[in-house]
Amino acid sequence: MTFENVAYPFQPGSQGRSETAEYNDHVSQMIEQVLFTAPGERLNRPTFGCGIRQALFGPLGDVQAAATQMLIQSSLQQWLSQQIEVRSVEVIAEDSTLTISISYVVRRTGEPDQRTYKLGD
């Protein structure tokens, strides 16, 4: 086991060691960490994350969706540019829900992937 394969969220595995994840799953888990960690939340990395949950506390609309899209794109680029190549980030604001779709390629394996997250109601 290497540190890069530790599963998120952290939990003990069946043999009493840290649970591990396949590399592509680990990359997906790292994306979640960037998205859902608010800057200032990590003690030794105060600028880590993009804190998209805060977007729900403002008025949701096209302007907020565009700002959130740029925030996500830049955060992924800053923190995961060695692991992924971001192909696209799409943010749709409807009523009190943000739908975020991220399309990327895992650099190590060359495999494309896409993840969608919904925030709000």
Question: Which distant-in-sequence residues (6+ apart) come within 8 Å of 109 by Cβ?
Answer: 23, 24
Chain CA centroid to CA 118, Å: 12
The span from the CA of 34 to the CA of 72, in Å, is 8
The span from the CA of 8 to the CA of 13, in Å, is 12
Which pTM was predicted? 0.79
Strand 84-94 and strand 97-106: pairing? antiparallel
Token reading at 112: 């494309």
Mind listing the pLDDT tens digit of every residue in the chain (121 residues)? 344 576 555 556 666 666 666 778 888 888 999 999 999 888 899 999 998 888 777 777 788 888 889 999 999 999 999 999 999 999 998 887 889 999 999 999 999 999 999 987 6
